[in-house]
C-alpha cells in the first residue's frame, strides 16, 4: 500500500463496456466509481483487462480497433505517453496487398504488468474513462473490460496532491 493511504475495502472488480457510436468513430464513456471526496477516498488500481472486438477482415484493407482507459476525459484516443492513460490495447489486421483477409496482430500495454509493481495507478476523482476507435471497418465495434482495485482513504495533503495532479493532466 502506498504511503499515506489506508485500504478501506477488499478487492473490487468493476466491469465496463463501450461501443462506437458510428463506424470508425472515437467514442468515450465514463465509469462512476462512487468515491466519497468528503472522506478523501481514492481508488488504487491493481490490474486492468481490456477486451476489444476483432476488427473486420477485409481483403486488401488494413483494419484496426484501439481502446484505452484513462483517469480523465480525452478528446482523442490516447497512448501510454499520456500521463492520464493507464492501459491501451490495439488489434490490427494487415491485409493491404493480399487478396485474402490478411494477418491479425494484437498489441497492448500489458494491462497488468508482470513486474512486482505495487499498483498501476491511483484514481482520485469520481470516475475513469474508456475510449474506443476503429479504422477502416465496415461495422461499429465495442470493447469491454474490468478494473481491479481497492478503495483507500488518503491523508488530506496526499488527497489534495492526487486530485490536483489528476485534474491538471486533463
pLDDT tens per residue across span 93-130: 888 777 665 666 666 555 555 567 788 999 999 999 99
The region of weakest confidence among 58-62, 133-137, 149-153 is 58-62
2/143: higher pLDDT:
143
Number of domains, the chain: 1
Whether 160 is covered by a domain: the verdict is: no
Query: How high is the pLDDT of residue 3?
Result: 83
Cα distance between residue 40 and residue 51, in whole Å: 31
Residue 135 is part of a domain; what is its CATH number?
A: 2.60.120
CB of 31 closer than 8 Å to CB of 136: no
pLDDT at 37 exceeding the cut of 90: yes
Considering only CA atoms, which of 89, 10, 88 is closest in space to residue 44? 10
116/159: higher pLDDT:
159
Cα distance between residue 100 and residue 151, in whole Å: 49
Whether 165 is covered by a domain: the verdict is: no
Whether 166 is covered by a domain: the verdict is: no
Amino acid at each position: 500500500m502506498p504511503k499515506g493511504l489506508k485500504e478501506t475495502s477488499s478487492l473490487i472488480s468493476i466491469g465496463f463496456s463501450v461501443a462506437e457510436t458510428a463506424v470508425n468513430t472515437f467514442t468515450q464513456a465514463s465509469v462512476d466509481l462512487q468515491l466519497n471526496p468528503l472522506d478523501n477516498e481514492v481508488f488504487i488500481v491493481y490490474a486492468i483487462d481490456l477486451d476489444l472486438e476483432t476488427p473486420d477482415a477485409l481483403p486488401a484493407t488494413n483494419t484496426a480497433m484501439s481502446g484505452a482507459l484513462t483517469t480523465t476525459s480525452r478528446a482523442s484516443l490516447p497512448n501510454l505517453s499520456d500521463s492520464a492513460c493507464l492501459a491501451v490495447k490495439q488489434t490490427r489486421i494487415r491485409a493491404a496487398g493480399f487478396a485474402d483477409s490478411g494477418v491479425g496482430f494484437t498489441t497492448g500495454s500489458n494491462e497488468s504488468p508482470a513486474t512486482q509493481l505495487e499498483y498501476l495507478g491511483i484514481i482520485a476523482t469520481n470516475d475513469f474513462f474508456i475510449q474506443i476507435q476503429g479504422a477502416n471497418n465496415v461495422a461499429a465495434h465495442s470493447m469491454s473490460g474490468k478494473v481491479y482495485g481497492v478503495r483507500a482513504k488518503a491523508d488530506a495533503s496526499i488527497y489534495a496532491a492526487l486530485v490536483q495532479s489528476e485534474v491538471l493532466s486533463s
